[in-house]
Amino acid sequence: MADFLQQRLAEIAAAGTWRTLGGTLAGVDFWSNDYLGLARTQVPGTSLQKRGETAASTWSGATGSRSISGDAAEWHGIEADIAAYHGYPTALVFNSGYTANLGLLSALVRRTDTLLYDELVHASCRDGIRLGLGKALRFPHNDLLALERLLAAARPDGQRFVLTESRFSMDGDLAPLPELAGLCARFGAQLIVDEAHSGGLEGRAGAGLVASHGLQDQVFATIITYGKAFGTHGGAVLGSQNLREYLINTCRPFIYTTGPAPDQWYGIAGAYAKLANYHASRYAALGDNIAYFRSAAERAGLGVSLSGGEGPIQIFSTPGNAAVLAAEAACRRAGLLVKGIRSPTVAAGAERLRICLHAYNTAAEMDALLRVLAGLGDVD
């Protein structure tokens, strides 16, 4: 039998895009999305914890999809708490943020519809777009004029959707949400915002940037991801009651997937309990660390290679797949866990170290990272 996979793997290796799983790695964390440290924090005693012993709470597994045996009144209560926290009428929980994006976009966009998306949206959004049936066009990153032209040219007999991230995962910058909402209102388009990297982090008590701007009534759907600032796992689509019912009835990744297990539900509820108790202090500490890191980078002469603004995702430019792998290895040798992002995940020539800052990083740890970055010119 011909081993065609061997040839395909050889092509991946030759392209410099080979991936491996590292197992347990020791070092200073500059690569996880646990920005506030909630993943390593115990759940405090609050009303969003486990609500009491029910039939569902004694199960170890979901037992089936939520449209069959995997649902419970208890889960509906947690979804109601989620919706209220973010200021939306309803929430629908998915097993992951990836499947939330995949399911929402594939179910929503019909043949006569047009979806316009920022060119830097996440891979999960792109995969959902591919599964949708409508016309999809990308617009240059945060380019409102280009988006306006595309909205004006979109076919009038279908729905128009605009998709963006609030804080972009690979560049760390923000979308102009109020301006995007204004454009969508002018053209009768529906705005969809992926809050994966701002939900749980920004806004009052981590309610996100849509809530911070008070845009819930102007944003058709918001996607929250729990595996980042929330420190747990899962995802949720926030929106109207009609959107929730539509997804329950049409979203294949929701209908045909085993529902979240009880422990995942309680992990999500517990994440909100942590936010209610720790967000203010942790967010302030994170802000102090971001300010320290950027100031120290400027003093070290590294500012020209650094981007990401005032957010926790800091980007250090290291063009070329070989160069970024060497830079990642140099960090690893110094006991610093930093991820090098290669093309095609980012455009060729835009390879970078993606540095994640956290509330729990120390000045000494950040100084050690900056020393390694300053010496990258000496890396072979």
Distance CA 274, CA 348 (A): 40
235-239 vs 221-225, strand pairing mode: antiparallel
CATH number at residue 86: 3.40.640.10
d(CA 117, CA 120): 8
Spell out a b/e string for 87-107, using b for 16 or more CB atoms within 10 Å of the CB, else e: bbebbbbbbbbbbbbbbbbbb
What's the token pair of residue 56? Answer: 């569902």
Has residue 10 been placed in a domain? no
> How far, in Å, are 10, 225, 332 from residue 243 at the CA level?
45, 18, 45
Distance CA 220, CA 201 (A): 21
Radius of gyration from C-alpha coordinates of the chain: 21
In a domain, 170, yes or no: yes
Q: Which of 212, 229, 260 is the last residue of a domain?
A: 260
Residue at a domain's end among 217, 233, 260 = 260
Are residues 256 and 285 located together in one domain of the fold? no
Tokens 């109601």, located at residue:
80
Q: Which region, left, alpha or beta, applies to residue 117 given φ > 0 means left and ψ of -120 to 50 means alpha?
A: beta
Residues 231 and 115 in one domain: yes
Residue of 329, 273, 269, 209 whose CA lies nearest to 75: 269
- Looking at the domain assignment, is residue 210 inside a domain? yes
Do 313 and 289 form a contact (C-beta atoms < 8 A)?
A: no
Judge if 209 and 313 occupy the same domain.
no
Number of domains in the chain: 2
Q: Are strands 114-118 and 135-139 parallel, antiparallel or unpaired?
A: parallel
pLDDT at 46: 44
On whether residue 11 sits in a domain, the answer given is: no
Determine the 3-state secondary structure of 286 from DSSP: helix
Q: Is the peptide bond before 344 cis (omega within 30 degrees of 0)?
A: yes
Q: How far apart are CA 125 and CA 131, in angstroms?
A: 10
Model pLDDT, residue 308: 78
**Whether residue 292 sits in one domain with residue 365:** yes
In terms of domains, do 359 and 331 share one? yes
361 plus 330 within the same structural domain: yes
The confidence score (pLDDT) of residue 167 equals 96
Q: Quick check: is 317 in a domain?
A: yes
Q: Tell me how far the alpha carbon of residue 267 is from its chain's centroid.
A: 18
Are residue 144 and residue 251 in the same domain, yes or no? yes
- Residue 18, in any domain of the structure: no
Is residue 108 located within the same domain as residue 185? yes
**265 is a domain residue:** no
Provide the residue range defining the domain that includes 116.
Answer: 62-260
Which residue is associated with the tokens 């918001």?
222
Give residue 377's pLDDT: 66
Q: Which of 260, 289, 323 is the last residue of a domain?
A: 260
Same domain, residue pair 142 and 179? yes
- CATH number, domain of 299, equals 3.90.1150.10
Does a structural domain hold residue 52?
Answer: no
Q: Are residues 311 and 338 in the same domain?
A: yes
Q: Indicate whether 292 and 239 sit together in one domain.
A: no
Q: How is residue 200 written in tokens? A: 């749980």
- Give the per-residue pLDDT at 47: 43
Match 């994440």 to its residue by tokens: 271
CB 175 within 8 A of CB 309: no
**Do 220 and 345 share a domain, yes or no?**
no
pLDDT at position 371 is 96
Put simply, whether the predicted model's pTM sits higher than 0.85 gets the answer: yes
- Judge whether 225 and 97 are in contact, CB under 8 Å: yes
Q: Which residues contact 229 (CB under 8 A, 6 or more apart)?
A: 33, 34, 35, 36, 38, 197, 198, 199, 200, 201, 206
pLDDT mean for each 10 residues of the chain (380 residues):
84 87 88 94 60 59 90 95 98 96 95 96 92 93 97 94 95 96 97 97 96 98 97 97 97 95 95 95 97 96 88 95 93 95 90 96 98 77
With contact defined as beta carbons under 8 Å apart, do 173 and 101 qualify?
no
Q: Which of 129, 115, 100, 212 is nearest to 167 (CA)?
A: 212
